[in-house]
Amino acid sequence: MGATRTPRGSWIEEGLRALAAGGPEAVRIEPLAQALGVSKGGFYGYFGNRDTLLTEMLDTWEREAAEAVIEQVEAAGGDPRDKLKRLFAIASAPNGPTTGVAAELAIRDWARRDESVAERLRRVDNRRMDYLRSLFGAFCPDAGEVEVRCMVVYSLRIGEYFIAADHGPRSRAEVMELTRDWLLR
């Protein structure tokens, strides 16, 4: 009976976990193999080199962080406000390695130093903003107000993790819910 190969996707997921934990420098073949409990030989059968893995990790993140989320929101149907509520719930839920906040923040940091990563990030940001515009634009007739709502939503998605402020008698979750309700009015 032959040895079972570690699936290609496991290497990508483990790479994204390493990226989230320590940036692109932390994505090293030997530690990934150790984390997966396998030898590094299987890695080379899939990827050939580290750069190929990094590219596939970014491909996976780009697909999962934008298109897969939009498809999930659209699949459940409803009016634009229902879709925005669903999108907000998905964005605030604990996520896997490809769509988690830690991976996203690591990619944003990486993009500051690597133009090809910055271009991917721009594509994801633009796709997400275009989708938000389509939803807010369905019930908000003023283009300026649509852009403001999109910017507030997107800024919250990225910036919430950097804010350590207390909210008086309210929890962060309560304030986020109030913010969501205000944006959907």
Task: State the pLDDT at residue 1.
Answer: 42
| 3 domain-assigned | no
The pLDDT of residue 133 is above 80: yes
- Among candidate residues 48, 36, 49, 42, the one with its CA nearest the CA of residue 10: 36
pLDDT tens-place string over residues 23-80 = 999 999 999 999 999 988 889 989 999 999 999 999 999 999 999 999 999 999 999 9
Q: Which pairs count as long-range contacts for 68-75, CB under 8 Å and 24+ apart, including other chains?
A: 68/99, 69/99, 70/127, 70/131
| 22 domain-assigned | yes
pTM (two decimals) = 0.90
Q: Where does the pLDDT of residue 143 fall: very low under 50, low under 70, confident under 90, or very high at 90 and above? A: very high
Task: State the pLDDT at residue 94.
Answer: 73
Q: How far apart are CA 110 and CA 118, in angstroms?
A: 8
| 2 domain-assigned | no
The pLDDT of residue 4 is above 90: no
Total structural domains in the chain?
1
The pLDDT of residue 2 is above 50: no
Q: Is the dihedral of CA 69, 71, 75, 81 positive or negative?
A: positive
Q: Which pairs count as long-range contacts for 155-161, CB under 8 Å and 24+ apart, including other chains?
A: 157/91, 158/104, 158/108, 161/101, 161/105
| 125 domain-assigned | yes
Task: State the pLDDT at residue 98.
Answer: 60
Q: How far apart are CA 62 and CA 104, in angstroms?
A: 10
Question: What mean pLDDT comes out for the span 76-97?
Answer: 88
Residue carrying structure tokens 């990094």: 54
Q: How far apart are CA 84 and CA 184, in angstroms?
A: 8
Question: What mean pLDDT comes out for the span 165-169?
Answer: 96
Boundaries of domain holding 163: 8-183
Question: What mean pLDDT comes out for the span 75-90?
Answer: 96
Question: Three-state secondary structure along 135-146?
Answer: HHHCCCCCHHHH
Of the listed ranges 57-61, 71-75, 92-96, 126-130, the least confidently predicted one is 92-96
Q: Which pairs count as long-range contacts for 76-82, CB under 8 Å and 24+ apart, including other chains?
A: 79/138, 80/134, 80/135, 80/136, 80/138, 80/139, 81/139, 81/184
What is the domain-level CATH number for residue 84?
1.10.357.10
| 15 domain-assigned | yes
Task: State the pLDDT at residue 91.
Answer: 87
pLDDT tens-place string over residues 104-122 = 999 999 999 999 999 999 9
| 1 domain-assigned | no
Question: Within 10 A of 26 (CB to CB), how many other CB atoms are there?
Answer: 15
C-beta of residue 162 within 8 angstroms of C-beta of residue 136: no
Of the listed ranges 4-8, 19-23, 62-66, 165-169, the least confidently predicted one is 4-8
Q: Where does the pLDDT of residue 171 fall: very low under 50, low under 70, confident under 90, or very high at 90 and above? A: very high
